[in-house]
Structure 1
């Protein structure tokens, strides 16, 4: 029983790391990546639809994104959604393909993005700590129900803490790598 609690804890902590990595991928660093547009939703015939479900998004050059919609009628909607997003990008539409030139980041904008990355890291840490708390409570319930001894309970809680420390270190490393990527000129 305690092993399933520990396994579930690791799975939930892994999901927090995955969510962090997905969140950080949408942050704009020095170069163009198709994931930058993942958060943008287009109003496509009255249905909110992510851009990557309407078009092929690619980065043919380090400072250029190219969006080729499967339905040419969606060009204007995609263009409008990008302009209204908080990314500060200006698309150019030639009637077939939308191109977005990614400008160099200013020092001020880089610092803002580093703060956003740090905030995402803190949110991931909070999620991991909440998972730890839930697991420890489950172990304590088993101890109160006399399913496991006090020593076993302490050992399992130590294991959960070591797992938590490992995932917190992974969050720190992931955020540090993204910050380095953002600050790179």
Structure 2
């Protein structure tokens, strides 16, 4: 029973970390990254379709993304979707591919993005702490229902806290790495 609580808590904490990584991937750091386009949906034959399913995305230079649609007739739709997104990058099309040049970030914008990174990371830590609270509550319920002993409860609480500490530590490291990437000129 107690292993089940730990396993569930660990899986949920890992999901929070993965979610944080995806969120960090969408924060642009002044260099080309294909994950910038992950959230873009293209209206393709009447259905919203993720851009990465309609086109190949390559990075020929540090600050350039090339989007090459598999179906050349969809290039206008792809271009429109990129323009309509919150990327803030104007696509340049030559009829067969779309070039996105990522502008250099100003010092002020870098600092703003670093603050955003900290805010997103804090949200992930709150999620991890909520997972810890849920796991602790489940363990206490089991002890109350006499499914586990008081000693087992103390050991389980210690294990849950260790899991939480490791997860928060990993989130801090990911945050520090992303801040370094952002503030590195």
Give the TM-score range, shorter chain: over 0.9
The number of aligned residues is 185
- What is aligned with 1:162? 162
Cα distance in 1 for partners of 2:61, 2:10 equals 38
Q: Is the 8 A contact 1:33 1:58 kept in 2?
A: no
For structure 1, which runs of at least 5 residues remain unmatched after alignment?
none
1:23, CA displacement in angstroms?
1.2
Q: Secondary structure at the match of 2:80?
A: helix
Taking the TM superposition and a 5 Å limit, the aligned residue runs for 1:23-172 are: 23-172=23-172
- What is aligned with 2:182? 182
The superposition leaves residues 116-175 of structure 1 with CA deviations (integer Å, 9 ceiling, x where unpaired) of 211211111111111111110110011001111112101101110111011001101101
Cα distance in 1 for partners of 2:85, 2:133 equals 37
Runs of 4+ in 1 over 6 A off after TM superposition: none
1:30, CA displacement in angstroms?
2.7
Cα distance in 2 for partners of 1:55, 1:118 equals 32
For structure 2, which runs of at least 5 residues remain unmatched after alignment?
none
Q: Secondary structure at the match of 1:60?
A: strand
Q: Is the 8 A contact 1:41 1:50 kept in 2?
A: yes
Q: Secondary structure at the match of 1:11?
A: helix
Cα distance in 2 for partners of 1:183, 1:11 equals 32
Cα distance in 2 for partners of 1:120, 1:47 equals 31
TM-score by length of 1: 0.96
TM-score by length of 2: 0.96
Cα distance in 1 for partners of 2:184, 2:30 equals 7
Cα distance in 1 for partners of 2:121, 2:72 equals 39
